[in-house]
Structure 1
Amino acid sequence: MREQAAAALAPFFMTGTDDAAVAVREAAALLDEYAPMTPKELQLAAQIVAYDFAALACLGASATVRTQDLDVMLDLQDSALSMNALSDKSTRALEARRRERERAPHTLSAANTQWDNTAFRKAIARAQEKLLYANTKLAALQQKAPEPTPEPGKPPAVSAEQTTLSLLAHRGAEAAAALVKGPRTRQ
């Protein structure tokens, strides 16, 4: 089952030039880090890895496209949050299985220890879908023609200064001072 889980995770470890065998070994090594003791723990560990990789892909793509397409950026961020929530849910389930196994190993039920292939395939497919979505959106936006650069000497149509805590504090102080003085009137 370890090999099955590692093979299912291999696409998450591929960066285009990687060898599939290397990706499987990397996935297996990461699964070993979770030290699963039952097939169910192995399944949950693999789901956590898949969801985390998909969340990171969506978040990375979101950061890259943020200046090009706001709707895509927000959708990718939503996907990242969704994948992170599923990873958290799988993590809680894994921790519960471990506590149960440590507390009373003789009372473990088959449902708490057996591999659920249907749930595993569904989880991997969902994570792969989000990974593919992030990679596709990123590739599509990178293929678009770059925006023209402004002519030297002319300010860009939209310019913005970097927002920092000190800038926000300064603006807040200015706004508070304006409120104390009262509204401006024309005379």
Structure 2
Amino acid sequence: MSRPYIRMYKGIQIPWSASPSQKEEAYRAAGLVKTQGTIFMIPPEHNALIQAFEAPPRPRTRSSSGAVALCKHFERGGASSEHGKAHPFWPLPTGSNENKTRLAAETLNTMLKDLAWRNVMLLHPGVAVYEVRNSLGYGMRWTLELEENVSKSENSSISDSTSVSEKHQPDRADAEKAWTVKKILFRGFLEPIIGMDDELPQRTEGG
């Protein structure tokens, strides 16, 4: 797959290691990017992302998580569902809950066919986000609830009285740890990064 991974948003990427670990090599070979907070974990497969996107955000909710998020996000970028003003990229979510869910699913399918940016970042111990963007800079995020794969000896060294947030803040060592994804939740939609339009592929590849 030929995609401008390296050339997109170069200003927020950080260099790869001179002597990379196997985890970093596999992560890079999979076409993902490295920024502050990146962990070298291969993201979930598309079917798992779709399942989280299509799941209802709450019990008895008739719309998918993706549809609810699209309705909330649409007003950004100067769009207005009330006045029928179009967004430059995201479709207008109208009609029944079922129609909004269908429209959101089509939007996800379009996004997954044009992935120009993919990154897995640790927010804090046990929680990461998987961020994808298309060649225009628009994107989506999923929350990944993680569990570190540790040996019994390592686990016993952590005091039971210490909360997860007190153990440590995310650091470079986290990038190399072995993580298991326990739960995937759709987080929301993304606009292009403000002030970085000149670093988008369609603006750089012709220059």
Q: Determine which structure has more spread, i.e. the larger CA radius of gyration.
A: 1
Q: TM-score, normalised to structure 1's length?
A: 0.24
Structure 1 or 2: more strand by fraction: 2
Structure 1 or 2: more helix by fraction: 1
Q: TM-score, normalised to structure 2's length?
A: 0.22
